[in-house]
Amino acid sequence: MKDRLDKRLDYKINDPYLDKTQYKDPTICPTCGLVYHGKTWKRDDELKKQLEKEGKVDYKECPACRKIRDNYPMGVVYLSGNYVKDEFHRSEIINLVKHEAEKEENSNPLSRIMAIENGKDGDLVIKTTTEGLAARLGKAIQRAHKGNLELKFSDDQKLLRVVWER
């Protein structure tokens, strides 16, 4: 028990969806096709095909798909200011965000964009399944477009808010 508690303290945010005891090894996510094997979730179509053929596999939605279905983001990026209201800059930022998310997903397939929404006053709001992706998006936007960036954990430590303004 102590081991598990110690491990949890390493997380900046306690992710209630990452309890690995919920999953049998191997498991396939019926929604996105990720495979849980060797204690990690991975994109491995060969392994998936093989497991499906053998039939000895569980089917259960992966943590990312469950967060998306529950609308439970762990990171939210708020973009505001006149810069982001400009159509050209806005589409440039959205392209950058999608590109960064693809790169992140290659290293962590559970890290995904849940939604890109229009907020009030032309703000842009991006919800992510991990706090790491939200931080990465904020930093990439600041690198490419300058502006002011702030990262704040919510009081209950359940969410990372990434606030960018220009």
Question: Counting contacts by CB under 5 A, is residue 113 touching Zn ion?
Answer: no
Site mask, Zn ion, residues 42-71, x = CB under 5 A? --------------------x--x------
Closer by beta carbon to Zn ion, 31 or else 108: 31
Contact 109, 41 (CB under 8 A): yes
Question: Counting contacts by CB under 5 A, is residue 101 touching Zn ion?
Answer: no
Contact 39, 25 (CB under 8 A): yes
Question: Counting contacts by CB under 5 A, is residue 31 touching Zn ion?
Answer: yes
Contact 155, 68 (CB under 8 A): no
Token pair, residue 130, equals 């991990």
Contact 63, 18 (CB under 8 A): yes
Closer by beta carbon to Zn ion, 34 or else 84: 34
Question: Counting contacts by CB under 5 A, is residue 116 touching Zn ion?
Answer: no
CB count in 10 Å sphere of residue 11: 11
Question: Counting contacts by CB under 5 A, is residue 35 touching Zn ion?
Answer: no
Q: List residues near Zn ion by CB under 5 A.
A: 29, 31-32, 62, 65
